[in-house]
């Protein structure tokens, strides 16, 4: 922060908290040089020449060779310096080198940075382009990888003369894998390289003996959306066409046919009624992929209901269990003794649950472990169903959803335009760093369904007096100002969060806690200061100093996209926790 009044008073507020953070920091290893980034599209690592790289905090890659795994194609015309991208569903994106605006289906859309020519190739902002094509995009800092996958938008069931037609409506290519299971009869349709955006997780169908259709994100990396059809009797299935809108034809199984999974049906038998007579009970057949003969977990699935998430663990016998709560990260550990997990699973239910992992914790004796990692710690209960064969963690989602829905977070990147803010030890400029962190913070909050407004999103000068006013006009309920600090003493480094009024203390505490935990630079704690934006703000407000530009080590970190991303995500976690716990004021 530069060009501001010195704080009236600086005081370490929650002493206990600061101690906790010091201890936590002691375990943080020295930061290594970040690995080069990679891009994985629908399960394939794209190998472009030159490879993907960060420029000014934005991930760039050559257009050539980037889009094929997503079923898109492009044309680059060096004379007009224009590229045309054709998405798998007909979306048309026009990009021009040096132009920060793209045209997406005829509409102008700002990009985080302009495409640029390198050699004979056009380098494009990767995240923006895939998002424009409707893809699921997620940057995994721990893997230094941008994951891109198709999204499943809906399933359409339609009766046909021969049976039932199931169409998958996806934004890009998905692979279809089918498995028939018996006792009870089910058809499992796995959509590989697909992230489910289907809101309704369960519907009653009642056509062609299909009683129920359940949809869940079965696993990630590769992303698999699992559709389970609960059947009155076995059906034959044929995948009639593929990407981006695969069609499956379902037909009653001919009584003579008792073959295994996914046998194509030569079905000559006309479809007679919506509920055909069940064939004589088929001989009992074992579940496929049986690992061991011992007791085991058959399935871990996520079911969404209004206001609730049900994490369902299905065993082949009554399950015993023990539940513990653990911190850092906040999580719930459910140990199930005496059973085996044949397949390791990772599910992303969204909402208050960051991730659910199921794996074998130990063998001999067997203990299966289910970990429910919180995005935001929520009310839950553990219940058993079906005589104890089903163990269900029921997570209350509603209060979180309502609180987040009501909040609007103002993001205020300091300085801008003619006001550069602080200048770093080797010349890094505060206004540039904090704008980038602010834009990343916006992305991070959006991923957590938190609405935002920015006081500036480009390199423009905004008067200090206008910043809070801009936020309040938009109806902001939380104000977060992002700065990088400066001092005449170059040895001082670290991250600190300022607040002024008591109603901002909780927000400041949680934001600083996350920053202290994840940045690996000294935690200088929560402090008070009479900054104008904090004084002006009628809503909870904090000012974050993400490091000291005047310290060469902090400055070197602040130059890296990885550090900026970590800072943005840490602030976002703190803010998300606050908006989930503290209801928004009624308008």
CB 342 within 8 A of CB 289: yes
CB of 512 to Zn ion, least distance (A): 17
226 contributes a contact to Zn ion by CB under 5 A: no
Count of residues in contact with Zn ion, rule CB under 5 A: 4
Crossing angle between the packed helical segments 15-26 and 505-519, to the nearest 10 degrees: 10
CB 198 within 8 A of CB 215: yes
One residue of 483, 493, 517, 564 binding Zn ion per CB under 5 A: 483
Scanning 280-288, 464-472, 477-485, 548-556 for contacts with Zn ion by CB under 5 A, the matching segment is: 477-485
For 251, phi and psi rounded to 5 degrees?
Answer: -135, 150
One residue of 421, 424, 516, 525 binding Zn ion per CB under 5 A: 421
Q: What mask, x for binding Zn ion by CB under 5 A, covers residues 429 to 468? A: ----------------------------------------
Tell me, rounded to whole angstroms, the distance of Cα 186 from its chain centroid. Answer: 30
> Which residue from 468, 470, 474 is spatially nearest to 504, judged by alpha carbons?
468
Scanning 187-195, 330-338, 407-415, 517-525 for contacts with Zn ion by CB under 5 A, the matching segment is: 407-415
Instruction: Determine the Cα–Cα distance for residues 86 and 75; give it in Å rounded to an integer.
Output: 9
The nearer residue to Zn ion, 354 or 412, going by C-beta atoms, is 412
The nearer residue to Zn ion, 393 or 546, going by C-beta atoms, is 546
Residue 274: helix, strand or coil by DSSP? coil
Crossing angle between the packed helical segments 561-581 and 430-447, to the nearest 10 degrees: 50
Q: Which of 238, 514, 545, 569 is catalytic?
A: 545
> Which residue from 481, 456, 480, 440 is spatially nearest to 569, judged by alpha carbons?
440
Q: What mask, x for binding Zn ion by CB under 5 A, covers residues 366 to 405? A: ----------------------------------------
Identify the sign of the CA torsion 445, 449, 452, 458.
positive
CB of 542 to Zn ion, least distance (A): 14
CB of 499 to Zn ion, least distance (A): 16
Number of Cα atoms under 13 Å in the Cβ half of residue 179: 12
The nearer residue to Zn ion, 483 or 577, going by C-beta atoms, is 483
CB of 415 to Zn ion, least distance (A): 6
Scanning 121-129, 283-291, 408-416, 531-539 for contacts with Zn ion by CB under 5 A, the matching segment is: 408-416
Tell me, rounded to whole angstroms, the distance of Cα 421 from its chain centroid. Answer: 33
User: Which residue of the chain is nearest Zn ion when measured via CB?
Assistant: 1
CB 65 within 8 A of CB 51: no
Instruction: Determine the Cα–Cα distance for residues 2 and 485; give it in Å rounded to an integer.
Output: 7
Instruction: Determine the Cα–Cα distance for residues 62 and 83; give it in Å rounded to an integer.
Output: 11
The nearer residue to Zn ion, 187 or 526, going by C-beta atoms, is 526
The nearer residue to Zn ion, 320 or 466, going by C-beta atoms, is 466
Scanning 220-228, 264-272, 475-483, 496-504 for contacts with Zn ion by CB under 5 A, the matching segment is: 475-483
Tell me which H or E stretch contains 47.
none
Scanning 14-22, 214-222, 469-477, 482-490 for contacts with Zn ion by CB under 5 A, the matching segment is: 482-490
The nearer residue to Zn ion, 395 or 557, going by C-beta atoms, is 557
414 contributes a contact to Zn ion by CB under 5 A: yes
Residue 241: helix, strand or coil by DSSP? strand
The nearer residue to Zn ion, 390 or 483, going by C-beta atoms, is 483
173 contributes a contact to Zn ion by CB under 5 A: no
In angstroms, what CA-CA distances link 532 with 5, 7, 499? 8, 10, 11
Establish whether 443 is a catalytic residue.
no
Query: Applying CB under 5 A, which residues contact Zn ion?
Result: 1, 414, 421, 483
Give the residue numbers annotated as catalytic, written as ranges.
Answer: 545
């Amino acid at each position: 922060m530069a060009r501001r009044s010195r704080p009236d008073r600086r005081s370490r507020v929650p002493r206990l908290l600061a101690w906790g953070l010091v201890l936590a920091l002691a375990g943080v290893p020295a930061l290594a040089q970040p690995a080069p980034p990679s891009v994985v599209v629908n399960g394939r690592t794209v190998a472009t020449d030159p490879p993907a790289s960060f420029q000014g905090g934005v991930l760039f890659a050559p257009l050539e060779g980037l889009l094929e795994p997503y079923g898109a194609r492009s044309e680059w015309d060096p004379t007009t310096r224009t590229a045309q991208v054709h998405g798998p569903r007909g979306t048309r994106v026009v990009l021009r080198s040096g132009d920060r605006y793209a045209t997406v289906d005829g509409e102008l859309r700002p990009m985080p940075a302009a495409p640029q020519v390198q050699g004979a190739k056009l380098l494009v902002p990767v995240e923006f382009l895939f998002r424009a094509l409707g893809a699921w995009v997620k940057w995994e800092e721990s893997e230094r990888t941008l994951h891109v996958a198709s999204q499943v938008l809906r399933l359409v069931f339609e009766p046909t003369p021969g049976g039932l037609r199931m169409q998958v409506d996806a934004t890009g290519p998905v692979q279809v894998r089918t498995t028939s299971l018996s006792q009870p009869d089910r058809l499992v349709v796995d959509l590989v390289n697909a992230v489910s955006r289907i809101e309704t997780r369960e519907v009653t169908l009642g056509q062609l003996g299909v009683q129920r259709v359940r949809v869940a994100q079965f696993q990630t990396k590769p992303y698999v959306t699992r559709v389970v059809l609960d059947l009155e009797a076995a059906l034959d299935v044929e995948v009639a066409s593929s990407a981006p809108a695969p069609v499956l034809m379902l037909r009653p199984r001919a009584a003579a046919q008792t073959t295994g999974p996914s046998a194509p049906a030569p079905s000559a038998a006309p479809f007679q009624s919506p509920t055909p007579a069940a064939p004589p009970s088929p001989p009992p057949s074992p579940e496929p992929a049986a690992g061991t003969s011992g007791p085991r977990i058959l399935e871990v699935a996520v079911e969404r209901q209004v206001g609730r998430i049900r994490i369902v663990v299905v065993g082949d016998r009554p399950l015993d269990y023990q539940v513990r709560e653990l911190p850092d990260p906040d999580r719930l550990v459910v140990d199930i003794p005496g059973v085996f997990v044949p397949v390791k699973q990772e599910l992303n239910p969204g909402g208050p649950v960051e991730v659910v992992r199921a794996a074998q914790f130990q063998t001999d004796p067997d203990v299966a472990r289910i970990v429910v990692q919180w995005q935001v710690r929520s009310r839950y209960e553990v219940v058993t169903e079906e005589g104890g064969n089903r163990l269900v963690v029921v997570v209350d989602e509603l209060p979180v959803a309502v609180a987040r829905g009501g909040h609007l977070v103002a993001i205020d990147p300091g300085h801008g335009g003619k006001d550069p803010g602080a200048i770093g030890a080797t010349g890094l400029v505060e206004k540039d760093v904090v704008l980038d962190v602010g834009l990343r913070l916006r992305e991070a909050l959006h991923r957590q369904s938190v609405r935002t407004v920015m006081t500036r999103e480009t390199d423009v000068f905004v008067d200090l007096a206008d910043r809070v006013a801009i936020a309040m006009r938009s109806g902001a309920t939380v104000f977060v100002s992002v700065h990088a600090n400066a001092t005449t003493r170059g040895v001082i480094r670290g991250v600190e969060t300022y607040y002024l009024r008591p109603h901002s203390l909780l927000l400041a505490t949680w934001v600083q806690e996350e920053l202290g935990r994840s940045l690996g630079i000294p935690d200088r704690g929560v402090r008070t200061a009479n900054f104008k934006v904090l004084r002006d703000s009628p809503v909870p407000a904090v000012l974050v100093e993400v490091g000291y530009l005047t310290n060469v080590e902090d400055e070197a970190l602040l130059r890296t996209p990885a550090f900026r991303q970590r800072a943005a995500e840490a602030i976002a976690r703190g803010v998300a926790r606050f908006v989930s716990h503290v209801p928004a004021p009624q308008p």
